[in-house]
Structure 1
Amino acid sequence: MSVTPLTSPINISQETTIPPLLGASVAELSAWVQQQGQPTYRGKQLHEWIYQKGVRSLADISVFSKQWRAELAEIPIGRSTIHYRSVAPDDTVKYLLQLADGQIVETVGIPTDKRLTVCVSTQVGCPMACDFCATGKGGYKRNLGRHEIVDQVLTVQEDFQQRVSHVVFMGMGEPLLNTDNVLGAVRSLNQDVGIGQRSLTVSTVGIRDRIRQLAQHHLQVTLAVSLHAPNQALREQLIPSAHSYPIEDLLAECREYVAITGRRISFEYILLAGVNDLPEHALELSRRLRGFQNHVNLIPYNPIQEVDYKRPNRQQIQSFVQILQEQKIAVSVRYSRGLEADAACGQLRSSNAGNS
């Protein structure tokens, strides 16, 4: 019996000729097994083995006949292998995952008493070249397929032997430059893996028109916009891509997003000592953000080898917080986990150099 490739919208690397099954829904898998001459219920079985049992090869699905398993031997599920793993003192785990084409991508598992969060990558590398970010220093290779994004969550779940409760699209890459696969991964994580949309966060540095387009999908995810500066000149200094996308236009799109979705936006703001953390910066930021639902998430800078930015001290951080609070701006401070393992915000890169 010949095997027909899965005809679902799964993006994969050019080296692969048959789309991986991971990321496909029950309906897609059921349609596919019917194409192979199998009864529809095999699709539900296949779905269970991929998402609940974490099978890595179709040959290991014992409820399928030996003959069919042999015929399916060349059909990829789409799982990665752990190339490197390091554990920080706070139990955060950083993974370098090797993909089917040999590329390496980073994923981080962040455990607390009541939850397990996975920080997933959406690209191999990143084209945005933010000055304070290790990922951007390494350049851009390609987008990840939806199976490669979902795989990161399943890998962390298996390694921790604990269900993942939250996923943040804040790893390597710019999610809104890979929108189709990110939306596919959001759907799969929600409907196939069983993680509520409100427990998913999609981060972006801001790509013209993409926030507006995202709003049309009316997702219940949290949108996090990496702002990092209260004005255009400083933002261009830190984020080269901001040159073609003025902060006024970005914030206008954010206001539209809130109006369309009814969901508030989280603004990520990395605090760099003496650069963007002064009182006048806090006042200017508060003026920018008045008038629509938002929350500022301050992130004290996490050092990387390539640049000499400094993290502000706690007094400077608290002063920035106090000014925003006095201006009625919702604000919190996020001290990143995994700092000692180079797994914190802004530290991800696709090699383990210096990560011993």
Structure 2
Amino acid sequence: MRVLGIETSCDETGVALYDTERGLLADALYSQVAMHADFGGVVPELASRDHVRRLLPLIEQVLDEAGIGRDGIDAIAYTAGPGLIGALMVGAATAHGLARALEVPVLGVHHMEGHLLAPMLEPSPPEFPFVALLVSGGHTQLIDVTALGDYRLLGESVDDAAGEAFDKVAKMLGLSYPGGPAVAELANRGDPTRLRFPRPMTDRPGLDFSFSGLKTHTLTALRALDAGGELDDQARADVARAFEEAVVDTLIIKCRRALEHSARSRLVAAGGVSANRRLRERLEPGLRKSVANAQVFYPRGSFCTDNGAMIAYAGALRLAAGEHDPAGPRLTARWPLESLAAPARERIS
């Protein structure tokens, strides 16, 4: 079965074609980062309009790359939520219109389930069960994953997501959008011994996160350096390094607790922040301090951010189980991952 995947939840237009026998045949992505950079964040109306401009040409590009005509599409999956409702509508309307024209099934997919399953597209995918760290601009969650659709929330951010905190700190430092890569690049020039920021909510039990206080601590540190006449380029780099170190340490500590709590040894790290180099270098060694044989699985860098491949893959699993949209598009701006149901296992091919 060949599944066309369409992702339009925010500021990236992603399209991919996945074959359940041959794997990923082609994928393409258009990022709106340059357009939104002038505003310091995503402008929903602009995002929706750009998806309208980019989506159909990307579909044609993917089909051409795969060497397959429209009549070779067996099913279509699209992101139904969570996300910006206007952006979601573009993908959903396109998916349903194309599916009706081709007389093929169509299915709305949960955006975060796509991220959670993205490492399955790699040559050495994880096996169920595992704990998933979903860490991006909009989410920071720990999920116990027993099987497809069998998810239990272990902990989440009570305020800012980790990626959101990176973006806000980038603004404090006068860096460009998106903030995560910009802060990480500046942090590479920072002195790790000059400043130490708190590791929020690690001094108490539990698996929830909070990055709002860390953001405030960063602003206070910058103001203190400025008041003392010390806020030069090196000081900014030192602040970026201290902030990044605090986020990475916090994620490692919470992930280690989650593996211990659930008696798992496998961790999937997905979402935009999972591409952070320092996190990737230190996460598995940090877990192995208390979890024997701990393994961490990541998607490739290009699949950490939003993409069509993860939607095509997640959709293929559920479409193969017989799921499909019974009528028109179903869109949900807010959609708890743990509310998903597992498909009928015996029907999954």
Shorter-chain TM-score above 0.5: no
Would you tell me which structure has more helix in proportion to its own residues?
A: 2
Q: Using CA pairs under 8 Å that are at least 6 residues apart, name the structure with larger relative contact order, 1 or 2.
A: 2
